[in-house]
Amino acid sequence: MRLDAFSICHRYDIITAVDSVSVSLESGEFIGILGPNGSGKTTLLRVLAGVLKPCAGAVLLDGEDIHKMPPKLVARKIAVVAQNGYIPFPFSVRDMVMMGREPHLGRFSRESRRDTDVVSQAMTATGITHLAKRSVLDLSYGERQRVIIARALAQEPGILLLDEPTSHLDPGYRMEIMDIFKSLSRRKNIGVMAVLHDVNLASQYSDRLILLNHGRKVADGLPEEVVTKENMESVYGVDTVIQTHPVVGCPHVMLVPGSRASGQVEG
Ligand code: ADP
């Protein structure tokens, strides 16, 4: 499966949030999207998911225009984990994960043995089997985040689009969840594209990084090509020392305190 976006633009009234961005994602690939607040990351992800229509350009899912496909068909291929997924009702964890099967069910069909198996596997992969009967409203933020991820896995997507999937999680949970995504991309050949705030986390887990600034793509390449002192300075306005991670071998950024002039904060 592959997702190709060509020269995407998206505007909110007078604000151009995404400006001529082209990206592609293949099965088994893990791409991190980086950029300061307000640089267009969430908007780009929503356009790629088919949720927002671009004002120019096109998104092709295996060669087919995603914005012309029925949403249910898109949902069989792409799962999205949005930021701060709001859960309004006290569903049980298992029922919530079963909702991920919805795109695969017929109009009046009941869940099959296969649906039950897929849901169990998704719960095992995210370590929430013991929570199956609990109400989602009574869970901690980290547990709830895993339920939302399990629901996305139950969709059996070929492509996973993630918007800040680990924000507000402690370092242990954060690493565990990133490890789950990485292993899914490898073992199940899922293409993963994740908006990440943490440059070091993105550098550590991504095969390729895309850096946005003011809605434009300013870098696209291997972590060592994107996480450079020059890019950190021009995009985030900070002075950095960049070293090689002693275990993983990817670039690791250290901020030089006091190096950012005030007034550069956006969004
Ligand atoms: P990021 O995810 O990088 O923080 P966003 O895609 O959320 O960036 O936002 C990009 C720009 O679009 C920002 O200037 C933001 O204020 C604007 N924007 C985002 N969503 C909306 C909206 N619903 N209505 C108007 N402007 C928006």
Closest approach atom of ligand 1 to CA 215? 10
- Locate 240 and state its tokens: 């950095």
Q: List beta partners, residue 191.
A: 159
Alpha helices in the chain (DSSP H): 41-48, 71-77, 93-98, 113-125, 141-154, 171-187, 199-205, 223-226, 229-231
Query: What is the pLDDT confidence band of residue 212, given thresholds at 50, 70 and 90?
Result: very high
How large is the C-alpha radius of gyration of the chain?
19
Contact 41, 35 (CB under 8 A): yes
Question: How confident is the model at residue 267, as a pLDDT?
Answer: 43
Q: What is the DSSP letter of 232?
A: I
Question: What is the reported pTM?
Answer: 0.93
Distance from C-alpha of 173 to C-alpha of 176, rounded to nearest angstrom: 5
Spell out the domains of the chain, with CATH numbers in brackets. Answer: 2-255 (3.40.50.300)
Q: What is the mean pLDDT of residues 74-102?
A: 88
Q: Does the structure show a pLDDT above 60 at 264?
A: no
Q: For residue 116, how far is its CA from the centre of ligand 1 (angstroms)?
A: 38
Q: Is the CB of 12 under 6 A from ligand 1?
A: yes
Q: Is the CB of 41 under 6 A from ligand 1?
A: yes
Q: Is the CB of 45 under 6 A from ligand 1?
A: no
Q: Does the structure show a pLDDT above 70 at 265?
A: no
Q: Is the CB of 39 under 6 A from ligand 1?
A: yes
Tens-place pLDDT, residues 24-35? 999 999 999 999
| Cα 110 from chain centroid (whole Å) | 30
- Locate 119 and state its tokens: 């849901």
